[in-house]
Structure 1
């Protein structure tokens, strides 16, 4: 059965999408060129050719604009990272293959990534927050799925909940990314190797009955 093509957007929807894309492009340009702290919402509105009041229809504040820029990328990152994991592969191999993508993503521009990871720590409210929180939850759930596969293979024998273990691993990932971003290294593999050392220690506990 042939699927129907989506109905074309009306004029109002096209205008909203156009403003959204202009605001996102302007935010990314100014955050990249000038840095997050020096950039003002007024500058972004001017660059996007929208009024300041219009800008705040799309984001709550400047921090929210940073996540407006990156929410699509972060969502795609989670999908890409776990796409090639195999249910029959060792847990540490799956984690290395998946979490490498996060270091590669943040390593594309260490300066703006430092801003992004710093603001993540305090990002709990805002128009873009709900989507960001959903992406983070999906990342943790994806790690929990890998733990479930490992448990089925007998690699994980501890009684702790997979969701709690996955959240602990995610927090280690976030901390290690921030430490690597603060370091002089430009090689994602350096940060990944440090993370894997810590995850290997966790594996000793997971293998306990």
Structure 2
């Protein structure tokens, strides 16, 4: 709908929330935000960047207060700025209501409706997520915290150090500067030689 081309799920990088821990949520509270499962898409030239992933978002974001059975869609326009569509959309009853409503509308409109058409597309329409840049929250366990943080800062720039109640002596958590995903993954492999990475979550500006 946004880009005039169909995007197939197999081309969308998707991550779930099963790896999120209470410790991650506590560090996110220190960040001043919330952990949300975000599906996002943006145009990059003639292509689209699309991803579904858990993310830290700022407490000032309109999406940070979306809870329970409510869903929200944030659309950012050149002239309109941010516009949010908000309502019930999760849970069996709200979902069933929406599905039945769509079926009734389709039956009533019959052949009189004006359909929306978009072109087919292949994998090359979607940007490789590893070419994208994001900030990252990282939580690690290490015997030498000073060495781990110094190494991380050399790789990822100035770190925003986070703290939580009950933080372990050998535990460190921080948010990086913006970095290419491909490079971040390789850097994590290098860092894992002397530190155990317990959590990695993107930090999105929504």
The bucket for the TM-score relative to the shorter chain is: under 0.3
- More strand per residue: 1 or 2? 2
Structure with higher RCO (Cα < 8 A, 6+ apart): 2
In the superposition, the TM-score normalised over structure 1's length comes to: 0.22
In the superposition, the TM-score normalised over structure 2's length comes to: 0.22
